[in-house]
Structure 1
Amino acid sequence: MTDTPIVQYPDANGNRAYVKTHWQAIDGKPDLSALGEMKSPDGTEWKVSIDNNGNVQSGQSMEDVSGFIGKYSPLSTDFDNFWGYSGDDLGYSYTPNETTIKLWAPTAQSVDLLIYDSPNSDNVNRTYEMKRGTIFNQNDHDSNTIGVWTVTLDGDYGKNIGTAYRYSITFPDGHKTETQDPYTTAISYGGDKSVIIDPDNGIAPDGFTTNYVGRVDSPTKAIIGEMSIRDFTKSVTSGVDQNKRGKFLGACQAGTKNPNFGKSTGFDYVKSLGLNYIQVMPMFSTYSGDANSSDYSWGYDPKNYNAPTTGFASNPKDPRSAIYDLKTMIKAYHDAGIGVTMDVVYNHVGGDAMQSSFEKTVPGYYFRKNADGSLSNGSYCGNDFRSEAEMSRKFILDSVKHWQSTYGIDGFRFDLLDVIDTTTAKKIEESFDGKNILLYGEGWNMPTNLPENLKSMSDNSVQITSFGFFNGTYRDQIIGTNSRPGFVSGNSSYNESDIVDSLLASDFSQISQNLQYVEVHDDRTLSDNNWYHNPNDDEATHGNRMALANAMVMLSQGMSLIQIGQEFWRNKNMNSNSYNAGDGINALNWDYLQYHADTVQMMRDVIAFKKGEKILQSNDRGLANRFVKIDNEVSGSKIISMTIRNSNDGKKIILLNGSTSPVSIGSGSASDSRLKNNYSDTNFDYKNYMISSSNVSQNNGAVTIGSIGYVVIGFGG
């Protein structure tokens, strides 16, 4: 053991040597557990505690870490272990008296904070030097500040419309970057500058709260309508005020009527449909949307994850407007008993990843790479976010918690969830445990550079049981694929028993993990798909296909989701990827409410039935097995039926007829080789209620379901 300070060993350029390299260069290999002191050529002391392997120990002050920049690959766990930070104060922390701003940029040589004249000005009027933290603590990353740069600004920087800022970062090799804050929560018009705002300065409507009491206690009770803010009200047929069309405020404007037929549209229409959640397509800052451009985009090109886009704001040049307007919209839906889930895109960034705030802040860290050094591209968007890295994972967790705690978001739909690793997904589950926050996403198997067992895909659903997954199998069984018709769309080759398995959520360990749907923004609409497979249908037959497909989503177990408009035959002229097709293709045509009022009412009926049927809302597989009996699934019949019983001796009989021939059931009906059970012991004259497609009739105790139709018949209880 030695307590003698070690003499200075400058490197060839006269700079302080790396601590580990320095120690290893000493002959005799002394006991390195002692406190070592090194002096740089200018005499500055550097005190660190070092173990016998030459590694810096935790809990020490490190006044200079320049020797460690470049020591570890940004893609290594050693990098995370050394530089990682878990404090909850990245970004800005505001009070009227001072604002503190923190940035994690461990490989930077220096960081300056640039302050602008205003959010709408590009003139920098002040520059502040940020200081690197000095505490190294490998065992407690809450206090491991050596990679965090900080500056505190005296005065009120959040008044009026706020103060805009960016970072100027210099790296040891001499290259410089400028960027907005990755943690920014408010942005300038266009999203290139971060903005400090006073959270009490006009950014929430009166009565706004994040504690919505209407969240369902089981995901199986969720009936969700997907909505694009722009598509929802952009058309003049919406009856929404012109200055609100395609905006947050348009999506919650009450009292709107279709100008041609007088039917309620928009917000009032959604309330009348019976949904208990809306799923909002990307509403955060995006490359394509922040400039309020006339160019159309779905918004799957993230720019600033934690700020709402200015493109949906009533005043895009006031950074407070998007925040206020979004909270106003959320409050309106909450007041109407409808939760709001948010479509989030943490699997990739938009634009050129190398120009993102992440890459400009910590080059080479945030994006997954292949063995040859190229960017992994399992998202097919040019890059994959490296969620398995400590600070990438922290960012995702901080982001979802920000949206929930600040805006009262009630759930998250994860775009390409499978590109995110399962450990991160588990951490998200833990963050919302007991809060009844819906979690679901796309669980495909995209070719990202991540081991199969670590992908958050449906095949790994047992690892993340709080997450639901879009059931693409059931969708294909119902509506078919490009080359194979489904149950409702033609000469299906899908086996009835397989369809039943999907209907009963048998593919998942938890019923709540099953999300049933037949239409979302991706691929052709349901109406287009039915015309694709059956271009010679008359309108009545087409309507039957629409009604049956919609019913099969609701008359099944698990979460149910529709794209708003599918119930009134929304079409996109056969465009299966309309992300940039413009408003002419994507905007909802509310005139269709008049043309297809019957299928709209059928959708209301099956939604109401599901909301009232405990078995279809249950996550208890034992209960489902006890009270649900499949009566008909004869191979090749294209007929499925089941009986749901309850504890009060009541029962419901559900029959789905995908065949091109009618089917009759009940007393007085003839035997039918397509049926194992034709319910000949049941007189349907004594039913309590019946909901059905329009091609169902009743006569002398029997019910006849026309070709491509459905019926739900209730008795007693």
Structure 2
Amino acid sequence: MTQVAAGLVSATITGTSEITLDISGSLAATAENLIVTDGDGGVLSIASISGKKIDLGGVDFKTTRNPPYTVSLKDGEYTDTVTAVLDGSLLDSWFDAGAVADLGLTLAGTSGTFKVWAPLAGDVSLLMWGETTEFDPGSAAAVAMEFDGATGVWTAASVDVSGKVWYQYAISNGAETAYVCDLYARAASPDSVAARITDISSDPETMPAGWSASYRNPFGANGTEAKPYTEAVIYEMHIRDWSRAFVSDSTGKFRDITAALNETGGKFYEHLRDLGITHVQILPSFDYAETNSNTAYNWGYNPYHYDVPEGRYVDYEGTNDGRKAVLQMREMVQAFHDAGIAVNLDVVYNHTSGTQKGSLFDQTVPGYYYRMTSTGSYSNGSGCGNETASNTRMFKKYMIESLLHWMNEYHMNGFRFDLMGLHESSTMKEIYEALSAVDPNVMVYGEPWTGGTSAVVNGATKATIDNSSASALVNGVACFNDDYRNAIKGAEFGGFKKGHVQGTFSDAAIISGLSGSLKTDSYAGGFTAKIGRSINYVECHDNYTLADKLAISLAGGISQSAWKPYASFTAAQQDELRAQNKLAAAYVFLAKGTPFINGGQEFLRTKKGDENSYSSPDAINEIDLSLKSTYSDVYKVYKGLIALRKSAGSSFMGETAASASTVNSVSGFTRYETGDYLVFFNATAAAQTLPGDAASCTALVSVDTGVPVETADIPVSIPPKSFLVLKK
């Protein structure tokens, strides 16, 4: 294509026979210099042109269904050609598929009804196979599907599925025919090539021993006991990281985790119960783009099929029947629940691993499920090449039904949303309302930012987080408090930064974070009407581990190259690193809000300075439980802080505001009063004299042994890089 002088910027289908052009410069669109073609290359007749609007009177885009349509603008010997973009809202207005509640497969004995929403398709067929690993369309039993012009749904009703095991849809959009795994499949072949003909709600091969159809949540007695988010302690973990803590050569298996939880005296069970966490947050575990034969490490932020478990985490035991993935993921969730621990799933609905032929969504309805720019390219607010269109009716419907699937079929108790800023506040509000109707204690929270410039309107950010909740009477949607994180140990972006624990002070942000980040307080940085909506943290899977960042800081460096092993520091420096880590933990666990830690943070987990380990070797990412003994003093403080938080009840976990201020105008020296406690944080490098009101307290509370211990000895000063808890 050669650029014309005027420039055809974009073409948008804006009506059943209308295309609106964006032309730069002064060249006017005429019947002589415009050509519109359909997916077969056929030239369409132009009925009229009014300014930049083309009327193709003989075409009805809603019923013709032959994309992609292209528009060419000629300027002498030069031609600009663009693909006409069909805005998702137009499909939403044309087809009322939102009322269809049973997309996918509905089984009744040996009879199955299959439904897929593909309103742009010219033809759709159902393809079925028996037991096979080769899904050749030529060997399939094919069934023609019928189109409903009102809903855009294709249906094959009451199909005899006797002897059939797998199915795909053959979907023809224009000249292209895609052989697609059902978006709504609940079980699938390896790599989600084909969907399994089964009902996981009743198939005994998907049910662990003792599995109940009834939803379970240890946090709040299956929804019968109201719990605020502030009573939760969230512990992030990755399947493979922890698998290798118990099975040294594991590539990551659900059953490694299950065994470590079920084993009598199992290390994982003992560790989590001893530490006192209430929830694990598992990094993405739905099917992502790596094939099962690919054993390389990955975090899982490249989704392919949202409704089936990741096949690489499954022990197939010689057969790849799709149901073992369901069984083994359920076994793991059940083991956590039996241990009294709720399970949150990290979900990545904001983008997919690929587009077009690399996307089940694009192969089903081209372009609809993604936000597109005016030039017809994919908006890239995720930084991963695309972003999903959660403002469209059918993707929003898909998200909500997918989340309910994970709750009802796997008993997930909460969801952490990756790049939640790419979803509208209104969408997140609908999500919370749908999920909390199942369990009022469900946790819904996420990253209140995007990964790049996005086409989203009114995304769920810190500034708008309360718009995602009906009122302060419900837990609502929460978000990670990066301002508080940055104040404690330094920002993660814009160059290497330090925070309070390293001696670079941000008193206003610390005070706001400790007090609950309420927008009504007198401190800068408050953003919410409900304290529990602030997820307080200093480490997650992203960026440096806390221990690594503190090591780089103490070494005087500004990047990974300055990292060195802990043991290479002097004894005094090692003491300081431990003190900084304990102080950071105190800021998280004693603050008003909802505490969150990354697995291993409690024993100085290191990734050897690797700032972005999403595809790094196991030697970087795997959990080394021996560090728990090596740094037992740090572990005990984390355990003691969690125990204190719980034993003190509403003083730390309550949702009433607390007060914080600097002491004697000393930056980095903070007085924090909450409920029955007076806490002092000294992030400075010198001992600080306590103010007079400390002497009126009744007890000093120590957490050094892992258990809160009260003594009557009230000190007169607080050492550097430490915290002091006093009971009033």
C-alpha RMSD of matched pairs (Å): 2.9
Indicate the residue corresponding to 2:667 in structure 1: 637
Counterpart-to-counterpart distance in 1, 2:332 and 2:401: 23
| 1:684-705 per-position Cα deviation (integer Å, ceiling 9, x unaligned) | xx527432599x9999642543
Number of residue pairs aligned between Structure 1 and Structure 2:
606
CA contact 1:131–1:149 (8 Å) conserved in 2: yes
1:194 maps to a residue whose letter is A
Deviation of 1:215 (Å): 2.5
Deviation of 1:76 (Å): 4.4
List aligned pairs for 1:410-559, cutoff 5 A. Answer: 410-434=413-437, 435=439, 436-452=441-457, 454-465=458-469, 466-481=476-491, 482-490=495-503, 492-494=504-506, 496-504=507-515, 505-506=517-518, 507=526, 508-535=528-555, 538-559=573-594
CA contact 2:499–2:505 (8 Å) conserved in 1: yes
2:720 maps to a residue whose letter is S
Counterpart-to-counterpart distance in 2, 1:292 and 1:68: 37
Counterpart-to-counterpart distance in 2, 1:107 and 1:361: 9
1:328 maps to a residue whose letter is E
Deviation of 1:350 (Å): 0.6
Indicate the residue corresponding to 1:104 in structure 2: 117
Matched, 1:253 2:259: yes
Deviation of 1:256 (Å): 9.1
CA contact 2:701–2:710 (8 Å) conserved in 1: no
Matched, 1:74 2:77: no
User: Structure 1: which 5+ residue stretches go unaligned?
Assistant: 1-18, 22-63, 137-143, 646-650, 666-676
Indicate the residue corresponding to 2:278 in structure 1: 276
Counterpart-to-counterpart distance in 1, 2:385 and 2:663: 45
Instruction: Indicate which of 192, 195, 220 corresponds to 2:230.
Output: 220
1:516 maps to a residue whose letter is N
- CA pair 170-484 structure 1, distance change in 2 beyond 3 A: closer
Deviation of 1:560 (Å): 0.7
Indicate the residue corresponding to 1:185 in structure 2: 186
- CA pair 268-116 structure 1, distance change in 2 beyond 3 A: farther
Instruction: Indicate which of 565, 574, 598 corresponds to 2:600.
Output: 565
Matched, 1:118 2:135: no
Matched, 1:147 2:147: no
Counterpart-to-counterpart distance in 1, 2:654 and 2:402: 29
Q: Secondary structure at the match of 1:455?
A: coil
2:639 maps to a residue whose letter is R
TM superposition score normalised by structure 2: 0.78
CA contact 1:441–1:468 (8 Å) conserved in 2: yes
CA contact 1:516–1:561 (8 Å) conserved in 2: yes
CA contact 1:128–1:151 (8 Å) conserved in 2: no
Indicate the residue corresponding to 2:635 in structure 1: 600
Indicate the residue corresponding to 1:4 in structure 2: none
Indicate the residue corresponding to 2:696 in structure 1: 682
| 1:50-108 per-position Cα deviation (integer Å, ceiling 9, x unaligned) | xxxxxxxxxxxxxx974476699631423211123021211111232212111111111
2:111 maps to a residue whose letter is E
| 1:635-673 per-position Cα deviation (integer Å, ceiling 9, x unaligned) | 44311122333xxxxx322111111112343xxxxxxxx
> Which of these two proteins has the greater Rg computed from alpha carbons?
1
1:196 maps to a residue whose letter is I
Counterpart-to-counterpart distance in 1, 2:247 and 2:134: 30
2:511 maps to a residue whose letter is V
1:309 maps to a residue whose letter is E
Deviation of 1:585 (Å): 0.6
1:480 maps to a residue whose letter is G
CA contact 1:120–1:189 (8 Å) conserved in 2: no
Deviation of 1:117 (Å): 3.9
Counterpart-to-counterpart distance in 2, 1:241 and 1:579: 20
List aligned pairs for 1:168-317, cutoff 5 A. Answer: 168-171=170-173, 173-199=174-200, 200-209=203-212, 210-216=214-220, 217-234=227-244, 238=245, 240-241=246-247, 246-254=252-260, 265-288=267-290, 290-291=291-292, 293-315=294-316, 317=320
- CA pair 89-701 structure 1, distance change in 2 beyond 3 A: closer
User: Structure 2: which 5+ residue stretches go unaligned?
Assistant: 1-14, 18-60, 70-83, 221-226, 470-475, 519-525, 556-568
- CA pair 451-65 structure 1, distance change in 2 beyond 3 A: closer
CA contact 2:126–2:143 (8 Å) conserved in 1: yes
CA contact 1:282–1:343 (8 Å) conserved in 2: yes
Q: Secondary structure at the match of 1:153?
A: strand
Indicate the residue corresponding to 1:85 in structure 2: 97
- CA pair 680-448 structure 1, distance change in 2 beyond 3 A: closer
Counterpart-to-counterpart distance in 1, 2:694 and 2:182: 69
- CA pair 318-664 structure 1, distance change in 2 beyond 3 A: farther
Matched, 1:657 2:682: yes
Counterpart-to-counterpart distance in 1, 2:112 and 2:710: 70
Counterpart-to-counterpart distance in 2, 1:83 and 1:682: 70
Indicate the residue corresponding to 1:705 in structure 2: 718
CA contact 1:343–1:412 (8 Å) conserved in 2: yes
Deviation of 1:606 (Å): 0.5
2:679 maps to a residue whose letter is I
Indicate the residue corresponding to 2:72 in structure 1: none
Counterpart-to-counterpart distance in 1, 2:579 and 2:16: 74
| 1:606-656 per-position Cα deviation (integer Å, ceiling 9, x unaligned) | 011112333355564xx33xxx343644544311122333xxxxx322111
TM superposition score normalised by structure 1: 0.79
- CA pair 231-155 structure 1, distance change in 2 beyond 3 A: same
Instruction: Indicate which of 131, 143, 147 corresponds to 2:145.
Output: 131
- CA pair 509-241 structure 1, distance change in 2 beyond 3 A: same
2:678 maps to a residue whose letter is I
Counterpart-to-counterpart distance in 1, 2:399 and 2:62: 27
- CA pair 475-65 structure 1, distance change in 2 beyond 3 A: closer
Deviation of 1:446 (Å): 4.4
Q: Secondary structure at the match of 2:650?
A: helix
Query: What fraction of aligned residue pairs are identical, expressed as a percent?
Result: 26
